[in-house]
Amino acid sequence: MSRSKTDVLLGTLDLLVLRLLELGPRHGWGISVQLEAITDGVFCVNQGSLYPALQRLQRKGRIKSYWGVTENGRRARYYELTGPGLKQLKQELDNWSTTSSAINQVLAFDGSS
């Protein structure tokens, strides 16, 4: 079965960004590339979705940014997780666990009992 590229579902993008930033600071393009690589190309987040999400998370104090230099020597804005961002990540991971478990129960339901 071939995999197609899809945009990350609204509502999961914040969770995925926060999780990647938990691993360390990253620039926007790096977040996009890493997300696509980790998911073998299944999740492809376009810049028109990623940067508004980063700005929204920054306005809420979940992440902060600073200017730095990439591996290629280019100037880029880096993002990193804040204390409130880590707290939100933990809450969203708990919510995701509960939600995905319930979805799996429905998908596995065979109609008996």
Domain boundaries, the chain: 13-98
List per-residue pLDDT tens for the chain, 113 residues long: 444 455 556 678 999 999 999 999 999 999 999 999 999 988 888 888 899 999 999 999 999 999 999 989 999 999 999 999 999 999 999 999 999 999 999 999 998 87
The pLDDT assigned to 43 comes to 86
CATH of 13-98, one of 1.10.10.10, 3.30.70.380, 3.40.50.720, 2.60.40.1120: 1.10.10.10
Burial of 79 (C-beta count, 10 Å sphere; 0-12/13-18/19+)? buried
The pLDDT assigned to 96 comes to 93
Contact 28, 67 (CB under 8 A): no
The pLDDT assigned to 25 comes to 97
Distance CA 63, CA 79 (A): 6
